[in-house]
């Protein structure tokens, strides 16, 4: 009876984790679409400033009197490295979506989990077997299908999502390393704080005074960032990454919808083929993780 009760509880938690991760993909896709929309009228450094500064304001409001506790980190150096990686990832991503269709950039970013699989060997000491290495290579092939190097048909900025995916993989690994040392809210605070400080220093050189709708969209950008990270933390508190990670591919559906409604963009068949190859390889990697976990 206890085993049956435990199984029911685990299934209920997994279901809650799935709901939260679907909300997470919606919030982050909304952030991406808002950033692309703002980049039509404002410089990318200013959009980047809004993303981190308003994110910091929302996190500060959530923490309130607990802010001083969240400043305490056992691995301050690693927090700094992680925050720099997040700033680089977001900067390259925003620059890419300012010039490229949203769905194309998001599809290329799907190679991030594959980079993470490859980097987990030297950085985390994980074992990656030949099947997962084959899946990683398959996923990179999908990225090449989308980027189409040498075809002359794709903007030169198409390399930025690949670099952003690599940077995000390093960011994810440092997040995993910090999980045993700092509270999630501590990590969330430092992510926003460093980005806000750096972008505040450079944004005066690019500043265009926003109108009311611009300010509202910039505030919304920070809200989507803070809420997305909080939803992700909530999803992982209910279910393991093996359960929720494959559902992050739902962000491509969100991105296609936002891209069509807001910008009139639809991915071509080549992009969809590349995205399918990346998604299939990523799902296979997650399947192998589940098999190894069961063993």
- Alpha-carbon distance 100 to 32, whole Å? 12
Cβ contacts of residue 146 below 8 Å, gap of 6+?
104, 107, 108, 158, 270, 271, 274, 275
Lowest mean pLDDT among 151-155, 186-190, 215-219, 253-257: 151-155
Which pLDDT does position 126 carry in this prediction? 63
Token digits for 232? 């992700």
Residue 214 has pLDDT above 50, yes or no: yes
Which pLDDT does position 1 carry in this prediction? 47
CB-CB contact of 29 with 158 (8 Å): no
Mean pLDDT, the chain, integer: 80
Which pLDDT does position 127 carry in this prediction? 63
Phi, then psi, of 5 in degrees rounded to 5: -65, -40
Cβ atoms within 10 Å of 108's Cβ, excluding its own: 29
**What is the pTM (predicted TM-score) of this model?**
0.80
Which pLDDT does position 237 carry in this prediction? 73
Which pLDDT does position 63 carry in this prediction? 75
152 pLDDT tier (thresholds 50, 70, 90): very low
Residue 137 has pLDDT above 90, yes or no: no
Per-residue pLDDT averaged across 215-219, rounded? 96
Residue 277 has pLDDT above 90, yes or no: no
Q: What is the pLDDT of residues 116-129, one digit of tens each?
A: 767 766 766 666 66
Which residue is listed with tokens 């909300």?
A: 23
CB-CB contact of 100 with 35 (8 Å): no
Nearest-Å Rg of the Cα atoms of the chain is 19
Token digits for 215? 């300010």
In this structure, the dihedral spanned by the alpha carbons of residues 98, 101, 105 and 107, taken in order and rounded to 10 degrees, is: 160
206 pLDDT tier (thresholds 50, 70, 90): very high
Token digits for 231? 């939803």
Token digits for 98? 């300012």
DSSP helix/strand/coil, 54: helix
Token digits for 19? 């709901």
Rounded percentage of the chain residues whose pLDDT exceeds 90: 26
150, burial (CB in 10 Å: exposed 0-12, middle 13-18, buried 19+): exposed
Of 35, 54, 31, 55, the residue nearest 43 (C-alpha): 35
Which pLDDT does position 94 carry in this prediction? 93
Which pLDDT does position 201 carry in this prediction? 96
Q: What is the pLDDT of residues 50-100, one digit of tens each?
A: 999 999 998 888 777 676 776 788 888 888 998 999 999 999 999 998 888
Greater pLDDT, 203 or 249: 203
Token digits for 58? 């929302």
């Amino acid at each position: 009876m206890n085993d049956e009760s435990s199984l029911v509880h685990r299934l209920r938690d997994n279901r809650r984790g799935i709901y939260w991760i679907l909300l997470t993909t919606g919030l982050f896709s909304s952030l991406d679409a808002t950033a692309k929309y703002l980049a039509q009228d404002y410089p990318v450094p200013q959009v980047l400033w809004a993303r981190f500064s308003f994110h910091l304001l929302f996190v500060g409001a959530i923490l309130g009197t607990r802010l001083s506790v969240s400043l305490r980190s056992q691995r301050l150096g690693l927090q700094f490295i992680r925050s720099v990686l997040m700033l680089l990832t977001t900067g390259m991503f925003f620059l890419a979506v300012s010039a490229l269709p949203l769905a194309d950039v998001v599809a290329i970013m799907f190679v991030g989990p594959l980079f993470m699989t490859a980097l987990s060997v030297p950085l985390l000491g994980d074992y990656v077997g030949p099947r997962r290495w084959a899946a990683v290579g398959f996923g990179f092939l999908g990225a090449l299908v989308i980027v189409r190097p040498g075809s002359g048909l794709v903007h030169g900025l198409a390399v930025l999502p690949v670099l952003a995916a690599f940077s995000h993989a390093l960011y994810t690994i440092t997040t995993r390393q910090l999980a045993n040392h700092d509270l999630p809210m501590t990590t969330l605070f430092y992510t926003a704080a460093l980005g806000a400080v750096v972008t505040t220093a450079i944004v005066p050189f690019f500043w265009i005074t926003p109108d009311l709708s611009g300010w509202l969209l910039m505030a919304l950008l920070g809200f989507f960032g803070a809420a997305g990270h909080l939803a992700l933390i909530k999803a992982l508190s209910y279910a393991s990454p093996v359960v929720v990670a494959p559902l992050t591919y739902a962000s491509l559906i969100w991105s296609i919808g936002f891209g069509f409604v807001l910008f009139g963009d639809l991915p071509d068949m080549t992009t969809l083929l590349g995205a399918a190859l990346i998604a299939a390889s990523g799902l296979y990697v997650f399947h192998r993780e589940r098999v190894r976990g069961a063993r």
